[in-house]
Amino acid sequence: MNGLILACQLIPLLGFVLVFLSPNNEKVISTISNWITHLTGVSIIALLALWVSHGFQSYEYVWFSLYETADYHFPILFYLDRVGAVYLVCVWIIFSIITKYCRYYLHRETGYKRFFLNIFGFLFGLNLIILSGSIDMLFAGWEIVGISSFMLIAFYRHRVQPVRNALRAYTIYRFCDIGLLLGTWMSHMLFHESPHFSQMASLAENNVLSSLGYGELSLLTFLIIIAASGKSAQFPFCFWLPRAMEGPTPSSAIFYGALSVHLGVFLLLRTDPIWSYHVVTRAIIFFIGLLTVIIASLAEKTQSNIKGQIAYASITQVGLMFIELSLGLDTLVLLHFMGNAFLRCYQLLVSPSIITHLLRVEGAANTDFYIEKNPMRQFLPLSIRNQLPEVLQNTLYVFALQEGGLEFLVRSLLWTPFKRIGGWVNALNVWWLGLMTLTALGGGVLIATNTAIDHKYLAIPVSIAMIIASSSAFSQKHSPFKVWNSILLSYILSGVAVLLINPHIGSDVLMFFSGILPSWLLGIIVLSKLLKNQHFEAAPFAFRAMAETQPKLSLLLFISFLGLVGFPITPAFLSEDILLAHASSEHPWFALPITIAFVVNGIAAARVYMGLCMGRPNETYTV
Amino acid sequence: MKIDMDNVYKTADDLEKHGQTVSFNVDNAIAHIAHWLPTQGPIKDFIHHNTLHSVQHFPFHHGVAVAAKIFGARSYLPLNDYQDLYSKGRITPAALDWAVKRSGLIGKPQDELVGRLFVRDAHSHYPPISIATNGIRTALLTYLEVDLNGRVHPVLFRLLSNFLDQGISRWTMPKSGEGFWDCVLRLVHNSFLPLYPFHDHRLRELFLETPDTVIRICLEKIVGDKTLYEQYILEMLLAHPGWSGMVNMIEQAPNILLVPRSISLKELIAVELACELAFLYKKKGEAFEGISQLPQLANIPRLSEVASSAKVAVRLKVWHEAMEWALHTELLRALKTQAPAPKPDAAIPLRIQSVFCIDDRECSIRRHLESLNPAIETFGAAGFFGIDFLYQGLDDAYPVAQCPVVITPNHLVMESGNPPKPKDSDFSNMHFRAHSLLRGWLFTQTLGLGYAIRLAWNVFSPTASMAKIQKLSEIKPHSKLHLLRESDVPTKDGYLLGFSFKEMADRVGGLLTNIGLTDNFAALVVIVAHGSSSVNNPHFAAYDCGACSGKPGSPNARAFAWMANHESVRKILRERGIDIPTNTRFIAALHNTSRDEATYFDAELHETFAFKELEAFKATMTQALERNAKERCRWFELSPKAHNKAHQHVRARASSIFEPRPEYNHSNNLYCVVGKRELTKNLFLDRRAFLHSYAAETDPTGSILVKILGAIIPVCGGINLEYLFSRIDNSVYGAGTKLPHNVIGLLGVANGVEGDLRTGLPQQMIEVHEPARLLIVIEQSPEVIDQSLANIGDLKEWLDNEWVRLVACRPTDRQQFLFTATGWETIDLPVDASSPLFTRPEQVFDVQNQTIPAHQLTRSLS
């Protein structure tokens, strides 16, 4: 069984590596993907068969310990239970179908290799999430799914709009990672190590949960809900899902119709014991589901494009799943998930047929459903049936048209503050800025040496400075170098802050920088090569299409970007977690600024990468 | 702050007072701008046209260069492609010489050009700096650091697509008859919730003005310089050419929509400018710099200078012309040097005639039919068979035009028969509507799992499951057309219901005269229309008959056969000298070009006459379709190598939901031959030729030719140029790849949910196309052609500016003449050149993925 779990987990990775190493030859890639899909399918089926023969027992497998110190432990462990099994079945069915579908559908497409790379990356991340035995592992898979989703939305990089929407989806993903990152840390704090999912069920029985504070549990639930609603496009993040439908239709079907969109539900099912303990936390989930259902089902009424309509229909159903979850109907949720996944997947795949269907089969164009012609109208008293004032109709229409205004809400609450701060900092003169920093530092050192204030409190101004540096990177539009440097500055400040709080973890900070510094350096070198003959200042907002004109350097820039955002390819990913755990075990407040800085840095770096590498080449931006 | 109207006008007045007599007329400007917008209507009827109609008044190469400077598109293939064709021998040195001589360069510059021809240059084909991508608007947005496109487009596209939607959304935005501006005004002013970004009080006040005034006020703020207004609006509209073009098309011809909507370009411009102003206010406050205050305004390309400043890339132009000439001479050489046609074998009596569409896809099926059965004679005519009408089938909600777009039909024909079964009972289609809250919940909880099986079934066994899809382009044979007019009272839409006998005789006689079939009728004449069935394909209309405005031609074929069979029609025809023998039967059929299947209509007629002939024709057709499928498979890389599986393979293609290429349509169309079938009968033209029958001797004054040219120039020329430009720049002139397409409001497709409508052809239709202009060869003397050309009106522009090439092939000696704006040039092909020979047409089936030059066929050996 252990071997089979590893097979399910590693075969997609093998597929990824093989496709990456193979030449850009459709036949080869098609054969590889065929074999890998079959192998994954066989191992999933074998694993499940074995699991069934063991009597549906939840199963845990600890492979090895990736990192271990006295008070910190990061084991690689896997877990399989009923929920995971259902998800695995769906992954197997949908994945086999989609791969077969795509081998024909993407025939002769220029991005054939890129597509299958992303698809196998996605499968790897997905299986990691489903089979993960702890929140840390799950977080790694979460990140991988996020990046492959981002790359597939921007699959057609010649056009500005897919690129823009990829960034939009990525910012939401990134923000919701705050939830998961903080959630991971909180569970470390609360349970003293990242709880194994296998032990979670017993938490409630052993009264561990009831011993914890009510407020702490609510906070943890809240964080998990943020992560779940971000991924599943629930209130208030509904708007990104339809806009993510920019890649090839099958990729939209597998991500936003079938699998990725239900990961939020998965996360909630996994962490069920944590949040189902209290009525209030259940109520939160119930109301998120309810709000989503209301907004999404209204927004769906005014979608004049077919994929958007399917997306909102799907969001509505996921909202219902949230409601069902909060009512404790887990089995129903699993059924609902499967039904919704298959149906939406199918609907998206056949969405191009809608024209022929409506024109030739239904024989009816224009549904003519004016709002007041609701069939329910006949149940209203005659006297008010036609009196629903026009202004209310208009209001309802505007509400549906703008999809509940959620995007404006999210944008103005989340991103505008960073833009403002960053814009203000970037407007300052460099010397002035330097002077201020030096004064602040000097002052800090002076205070620290001459007074009795605990060094730890110095971490407060440092972490403020860290956020300011991140904001500066976020709103910096005129120089990619400055963005990269601001990100580095922000990370350095975070390291300083961590050391101020806990001076004994120098080695962990060092490990952190062993991931960040090389990435930064690589980025700076690549940027200077890429921009050598460019007048960046002349058109800072143009998309420069370097993925096409300078593919190798672009790949390096991408790797540097991944390193900078703490993607699980450098030690930075692990130490991100460790730093959080160490630094904030005594000072919980510190978790918030450091997470925010990580998230905002990621978005800033992504923006630079997109601006330089995506787009369509033309005479100006070609050397 | 309130916008000071008086102040705005004062400034304008001041300008005039100070001697700057710059004036700006909104309507004139819009008329100029509309000229540049794409003219593609709703996707349900896809009408091929010259993508660059806006520069058609320039000579081809100059026009393409001007368009490149406007739209930011490529003008030719990448240089390497031409060089590769040269090294493969498809571009001959002779053709290259010919093109160099015509480059307009002489002496030293010419030598320099020749020197540069073979230099490799990977960057030569990047699109130029253009008005659309680097104009004054882009400069302003860069300067102000506001991504207006990213902000305005989603808002605007949502409003537009919901306003124009033809049936996807459940709530309809406009009230009946409401215009776009009024509708937006209603939502802005009469809703409790703000309509973002128009909720700003300044904008709300602005909306109380007329669209004209709004346009003026916004331009005053954003641009400031009246000379630049027009260019600004154009750049703004070209940031989303698809929607701008669609609005313009709907304004010009509201009846192209099934559910009419009242919208004008002016309203669109007003709403968009107001939206831009709203975002600029929001970002920059009221005091932002307009375009007239930009620091480097002088360096930005100007619309007024584009026509004069556009430069033709000489090197690419020469290569392109060389490629075209090389391909064109392949046909010319074959026509000239082919062996004289063998005398018709007296032992085989001619028993069957069949009329096909000129479509290049019918070129091969005709060849197969003739070679399989010498008793079959084929003709080519525009696939609406001269019968122009609106048709409403049993399944159709609305009548649709069944004729080329240049003709406006006056007659309506309805199909009658047993009405189709009620639609709601069709359980298998429930998923199309399973979106709503409760239904969706019930559906996902119960049937959702079944979709796993259905999906797997569709993907792993496509041919087995999709029997129902044939509905798409096939018409049930068991129904009747209401053709004979019973009353002269027009319907309420102003159409005449059906035709009178005289009108029928006019049409039937007209077609028979055009194709030169006025005597020697066989016992059976099969009228073969064509259509194409495909699944999961929003561009389905682009696969059907181009001469029927993107519909299957079967109603026309049925109508023609009915009319030509009718004794009253024959009587009138007899008076006009066309004597159709009593025992001659016309039978209508439909060739499904994607599945390679044939359907025969009106079966009750089959047994009365010509039964034996029809059976023979059907048998031959079955074989011919088999061969045709094989021939088509050579373009499908994933097709099975075994020949006997070819037919099954093409059928699977047409019914697989994962197949973006049910067929390659008009890919590689290149020639159009107007003349007797004898001219091309023994040539292998690789499905690249539109073939129109024409008997030169019956047309001494060229009057028949006028009619033929009137159909083939816009239809075949339109198809050819649409393929050409979609291939040359698939992201600007074409629709890009099909894979991410999303259907918007049944109007068109876009990338993603908030994209611009894509115009042109998707990559999967044009990827194997060799983009060369159409060569029309007319078997007629130049003198007669000159007489015809004098009467074709505006279409002459196509020839004078070389958007299509015209060659006359003198019937007496097959001497060829090339049409140029200055007169006919004699074409002298190298004397020793002769066309390669095929002894068996099956030889070609194994040549994968490349075009084959025109070959001679020697049938006697097979």
State whether residue B239 sits within 8 Å of chain A by CB: no
Whether residue B541 is contained in a domain is answered as: yes
**In chain A, what are the domain boundaries?**
2-358, 405-613
- Which residue of chain A is at minimal alpha-carbon distance from B161? A304
Are B238 and B369 part of one and the same domain?
no
Query: Hey, are the CB atoms on A401 and B444 less than 8 Å from each other?
Result: no
Is the pLDDT at A244 greater than 80, yes or no? yes
Q: Quick one: which of A23, A16, A253, A32 has its CA closest to A147? A: A16
How crowded is residue B439: how many other Cβ atoms within 10 Å of its Cβ?
13
Amino acid in position B600: Y
> Number of structural domains, chain B?
2
Q: Classify residue B44 as left (phi > 0), alpha (psi -120 to 50) or beta.
A: alpha
Q: Provide the shortest C-alpha distance from residue A145 to chain B (in Å).
A: 20
Q: Provide the shortest C-alpha distance from residue B225 to chain A (in Å).
A: 23
- Closest CB from A158, A362, A366 relative to B731: A158
Query: Hey, are the CB atoms on B147 and A541 less than 8 Å from each other?
Result: yes
Label residues A31-69 b or e (16+ Cβ within 10 Å = b).
Answer: ebbeebbebbbebbeebbeebeeeeeebbbbeeeeebee
Give the pLDDT score at B699.
Answer: 92
Are B646 and B545 part of one and the same domain?
yes
Amino acid in position B577: G
**B218 known member of a binding site:** no
A117-143: pLDDT as tens digits: 999 999 999 999 999 988 888 988 998
Q: Which residues of A touch B432 (CB under 8 A)?
A: 347, 354, 357-358, 362
B206-251: pLDDT as tens digits: 999 999 999 999 999 999 889 999 999 999 999 999 999 999 999 9
Q: Tell me which H or E stretch contains B616.
A: helix B611-633
Give the pLDDT score at B508.
Answer: 95
Query: Hey, are the CB atoms on A352 and B538 less than 8 Å from each other?
Result: yes
State whether residue B459 sits within 8 Å of chain A by CB: yes
B407 burial level (CB within 10 Å; 0-12, 13-18, 19+)? middle
- Residue B113 CA to residue B116 CA, distance in Å, equals 5
Query: Hey, are the CB atoms on A365 and B258 less than 8 Å from each other?
Result: yes
Are B137 and B262 part of one and the same domain?
yes
B734-791: pLDDT as tens digits: 999 999 999 998 899 998 888 899 999 999 999 999 999 999 999 999 999 999 999 9
For the record, the structure tokens of A608 come out as 């630079």
B807-853: pLDDT as tens digits: 999 999 889 999 998 899 999 887 666 777 777 666 777 777 888 88
Whether residue B571 is contained in a domain is answered as: yes
> Using the 8-state DSSP alphabet, how is residue B667 labeled?
T
State whether residue B191 sits within 8 Å of chain A by CB: yes
A-interface mutation test, from B131, B437, B758, most A Cβ less than 10 A away: B437
- Which residue of chain A is at minimal alpha-carbon distance from B434? A313
Q: Which residues of A touch B72 (CB under 8 A)?
A: 618
Q: Which residues of B touch A248 (CB under 8 A)?
A: 737, 739-740
Give the pLDDT score at B190.
Answer: 87
For chains A and B, what is the number of CB pairs under 8 angstroms?
328
More confident residue, B417 or A344: A344
- Residue A216 CA to residue A189 CA, distance in Å, equals 10
- Closest CB from A155, A293, A408 relative to B437: A293
How crowded is residue A219: how many other Cβ atoms within 10 Å of its Cβ?
16
Q: Which residues neighbour A21 within 8 Å (Cβ) at sequence distance 6 or greater?
A: none
Domain end (from B640, B663, B686): B663
Query: Hey, are the CB atoms on B193 and A539 less than 8 Å from each other?
Result: no
Q: Provide the shortest C-alpha distance from residue B743 to chain A (in Å).
A: 6
Residue A380's pLDDT band (cuts 50, 70, 90): low
Give me the domain span that covers residue B574: 345-385+500-663
A-contacting residues of B 583-612, CB under 8 Å?
none
State whether residue A350 sits within 8 Å of chain B by CB: yes
Mean pLDDT lowest for which of B401-415, B504-518, B553-567?
A: B401-415
B558-583: pLDDT as tens digits: 999 999 999 999 999 999 999 999 88
Give the pLDDT score at A209.
Answer: 62
Q: Which residues neighbour A436 within 8 Å (Cβ) at sequence distance 6 or greater?
A: none
For the record, the structure tokens of B364 come out as 């091969």
- Residue B623 CA to residue A68 CA, distance in Å, equals 75
Are B538 and B588 part of one and the same domain?
yes
- Closest CB from B142, B169, B755 relative to A303: B169
B689-737: pLDDT as tens digits: 999 999 999 999 999 999 999 989 999 999 999 999 999 999 899 999 9
Whether residue B832 is contained in a domain is answered as: no
B-contacting residues of A 352-381, CB under 8 Å?
352-371
Q: Provide the shortest C-alpha distance from residue B851 to chain A (in Å).
A: 18
Query: Contact at 8 Å (CB) between A59 and A1?
Result: yes
Q: Quick one: which of B755, B710, B595 has its CA closest to A153? A: B755
Q: Provide the shortest C-alpha distance from residue A108 to chain B (in Å).
A: 9
Query: Hey, are the CB atoms on A357 and B429 less than 8 Å from each other?
Result: yes
Q: What is the mean pLDDT of residues A153-179?
A: 88
State whether residue B626 sits within 8 Å of chain A by CB: no
Query: Hey, are the CB atoms on A303 and B123 less than 8 Å from each other?
Result: no
Q: Classify residue A374 as left (phi > 0), alpha (psi -120 to 50) or beta.
A: beta
Give the pLDDT score at A453.
Answer: 63
Q: Provide the shortest C-alpha distance from residue A540 to chain B (in Å).
A: 7
Q: Quick one: which of B135, B494, B144 has its CA closest to B306? A: B135
A-contacting residues of B 50-89, CB under 8 Å?
72
Is the pLDDT at B117 greater than 50, yes or no? yes
**B545 known member of a binding site:** yes
Amino acid in position A582: H
State whether residue A243 sits within 8 Å of chain B by CB: yes
State whether residue A66 sits within 8 Å of chain B by CB: no
Is the pLDDT at B1 greater than 50, yes or no? no
Give the pLDDT score at B530.
Answer: 93
- CA distances from residue A151 to A119, A157, B91, B754 in whole angstroms, order as listed: 10, 9, 41, 19
Domain end (from B611, B633, B663): B663
User: Chain-wide mean pLDDT for chain A?
Assistant: 84
Is the pLDDT at B633 greater than 60, yes or no? yes
Give the pLDDT score at B642.
Answer: 78
Are B268 and B372 part of one and the same domain?
no
Query: Contact at 8 Å (CB) between B375 and B349?
Result: yes
For the record, the structure tokens of B716 come out as 């075949």
Query: Hey, are the CB atoms on A391 and B191 less than 8 Å from each other?
Result: yes
Are B376 and B251 part of one and the same domain?
no
Are B559 and B625 part of one and the same domain?
yes
SS3 annotation, A135-187: HHHHHHHHHHHHHHHHHHHCCCCCCHHHHHHHHHHHHHHHHHHHHHHHHHHHH
B511-550: pLDDT as tens digits: 999 999 998 899 999 999 999 888 888 998 889 888 888 8
> Using the 8-state DSSP alphabet, how is residue B175 labeled?
P
More confident residue, A165 or A74: A165
Helix (H, G, I), strand (E, B) or coil at B701: coil
Give the pLDDT score at A126.
Answer: 94
Label residues A151-177 b or e (16+ Cβ within 10 Å = b).
Answer: bbbbbbbbbbbbbbbbbbbbbbbbbbb
A-contacting residues of B 284-343, CB under 8 Å?
none
State whether residue A536 sits within 8 Å of chain B by CB: no
Long-range contacts of A435-441 (CB under 8 A, 24+ apart): A437/A465, A440/A465
> Using the 8-state DSSP alphabet, how is residue A126 labeled?
H
- Residue B731 CA to residue A159 CA, distance in Å, equals 9
**B359 known member of a binding site:** yes
Q: What is the mean pLDDT of residues A276-294?
A: 89
Q: Which residues of B touch A305 (CB under 8 A)?
A: 161, 168, 742-745, 750, 753
Q: Which residues of B touch A540 (CB under 8 A)?
A: 142, 145
Amino acid in position B300: I
Query: Contact at 8 Å (CB) between A30 and A89?
Result: no
For the record, the structure tokens of B102 come out as 């015509």
Query: Hey, are the CB atoms on A367 and B172 less than 8 Å from each other?
Result: yes
B367 burial level (CB within 10 Å; 0-12, 13-18, 19+)? buried
User: Chain-wide mean pLDDT for chain B?
Assistant: 86
Domain end (from B276, B305, B334): B305
Query: Hey, are the CB atoms on A346 and B455 less than 8 Å from each other?
Result: yes
- Residue B483 CA to residue B412 CA, distance in Å, equals 9
Residue B467's pLDDT band (cuts 50, 70, 90): very low
- Residue B673 CA to residue B670 CA, distance in Å, equals 10
Q: Provide the shortest C-alpha distance from residue A7 to chain B (in Å).
A: 24
Is the pLDDT at A185 greater than 60, yes or no? yes
Whether residue B362 is contained in a domain is answered as: yes
- Residue A342 CA to residue A93 CA, distance in Å, equals 9
Give the pLDDT score at B3.
Answer: 40
Query: Contact at 8 Å (CB) between B538 and B662?
Result: no
Q: Provide the shortest C-alpha distance from residue B449 to chain A (in Å).
A: 5
A-contacting residues of B 660-699, CB under 8 Å?
660-661
- CA distances from residue B823 to A585, B178, B326, B700, B826 in whole angstroms, order as listed: 91, 54, 22, 20, 10
Are B145 and B269 part of one and the same domain?
yes
Whether residue B739 is contained in a domain is answered as: no
Is the pLDDT at A497 greater than 60, yes or no? yes
Whether residue B469 is contained in a domain is answered as: no
- Residue B545 CA to residue B707 CA, distance in Å, equals 19
Whether residue B167 is contained in a domain is answered as: yes
State whether residue A34 sits within 8 Å of chain B by CB: no
A-interface mutation test, from B152, B240, B435, most A Cβ less than 10 A away: B435
Residue B826 phi/psi, 5-degree rounding, is -70, 135
- Residue B768 CA to residue B134 CA, distance in Å, equals 31
Are B300 and B176 part of one and the same domain?
yes
- Closest CB from A243, A306, A360 relative to B168: A306
Are B291 and B361 part of one and the same domain?
no
- Residue B813 CA to residue A268 CA, distance in Å, equals 84
Whether residue B199 is contained in a domain is answered as: yes
Q: What is the mean pLDDT of residues B621-638?
A: 91
B358-388: pLDDT as tens digits: 999 999 999 999 989 989 999 999 989 999 9
- Residue A370 CA to residue B268 CA, distance in Å, equals 23
Cis, bond preceding B197 (omega within 30 deg of 0): yes
